[in-house]
Structure 1
Amino acid sequence: MKNVFFIAVFLCSSFLMAQEGTNMKKVVTPPEKVKFAFEKEYPGKTPVWSEEYVGDDNDEIRYEAKYNVDQKTKATAIYDNLGVLKAYELQIPLSKLPQSAQIYLKKNYAAKAVKEIALVVDYKKTTTYEVGIQKDGKFYDVVFDKDGDFNVTIEKN
């Protein structure tokens, strides 16, 4: 019986260590400055917070607030540790994508390949559209500028 207990504990701890080793974002509580900035910008919204390390040496921290805009629309607001908004991503339907981007997608990808579409505004107030595509078992972000002109395709892991 004691051996069964130790095996169970070993398996559980191995599972937890494996989870930590993956790129999963854990739910966190951000600093007060970050929470205050979010609440000021998006009053009444309830976010789920996660953190991510970015930069050349993974030395910068970003806090992501994922929340529902309404029953069908999700958004993400990304802040640095001082509460400065770095990016905003809003889920949008295909019909809200600029016409030229829709034409590009129809020409180059099957309709079922499109998995998600987002309007993204970065800290410089630059607007882009990112379309998540799944093709040949890989996931890509196809990026368009604010006018819907193709910019770049980025393979995601």
Structure 2
Amino acid sequence: MKNLFLFIIFLCSSFIIGQNGVSPDKAVTPPEKVLYTFQKEYPGKTPTWTMKYVGDDDDEIRYEAKFKTNATSEALAVYDNLGVLKAFESQIALSKLPAKAQAYLKKNYPAKAIKEIAVVVDDKNKTTYEVEIQKDLKFYDVVFDKNGGFDVIVEKD
């Protein structure tokens, strides 16, 4: 009985120890190449770094640097493990959205449903606008193309 009890404790403790791996949303220190590229592109900015797994099999690593661009706005720069910028996201005001996107939002959503607006530029220099909407206690990203044309609605986790 004593051996069974010790075995169960050993088994449980090994599971607990295994849970101390790197959490995708835990603050991390990225590789030197990533730090160097960030500091070169955004001198004087102090980011908070997180790591995410992406790709079809979650086999690619992305390092995300969240930082303040000014007193009221934040930005997010996403790098691969070689320090290549994969995307840049920056908060903007509703008035900075293309007129077509503003008209779509005004027609389909009340102003209080809009939680955040960002412009996103990916590594292929494609610009999109993401508007976070809250509807029925769920959050969605309404995505527009660079001209303000409606693209897609994505439910957020």
1:148/1:20 Cα in 2 relative to 1: closer, same or farther (>3 Å)? farther
Q: Which amino acid aligns with 2:91?
A: Q
Tell me how far 1:145 sits from its aligned partner.
0.5
- Tell me the SS of whatever aligns to 2:44: coil
Aligned runs of 1:110-149 on 2, under 5 Å? 110-149=110-149
**TM-score, length-scaled by structure 1:** 0.85
The answer to whether residue 117 in structure 2 is matched with residue 90 in structure 1 is: no
Is residue 88–residue 122 contact of structure 2 (8 Å, CA) maintained in 1? Answer: yes
C-alpha distance in 1 between matches for 2:43 and 2:70:
13
Tell me how far 1:137 sits from its aligned partner.
1.1
- 2:152 corresponds in structure 1 to 152
- 1:76 corresponds in structure 2 to 76
- 1:53 corresponds in structure 2 to 53
- 1:4 corresponds in structure 2 to none
Q: Which amino acid aligns with 1:105?
A: L
Tell me how far 1:93 sits from its aligned partner.
0.7
Q: Which amino acid aligns with 1:26?
A: K
Displacement over 3 Å in runs of 4+: none
1:96/1:20 Cα in 2 relative to 1: closer, same or farther (>3 Å)? farther
C-alpha distance in 2 between matches for 1:71 and 1:20:
35
Q: Which amino acid aligns with 1:45?
A: K
**TM-score, length-scaled by structure 2:** 0.85
Cα deviation code 1:17-71 (max 9, x no counterpart): 9x979x8610000000000000011111100000000011111000000000010
1:27/1:135 Cα in 2 relative to 1: closer, same or farther (>3 Å)? same
- 2:107 corresponds in structure 1 to 107
Report the structure number with the largest CA radius of gyration.
2
C-alpha distance in 1 between matches for 2:150 and 2:118:
14
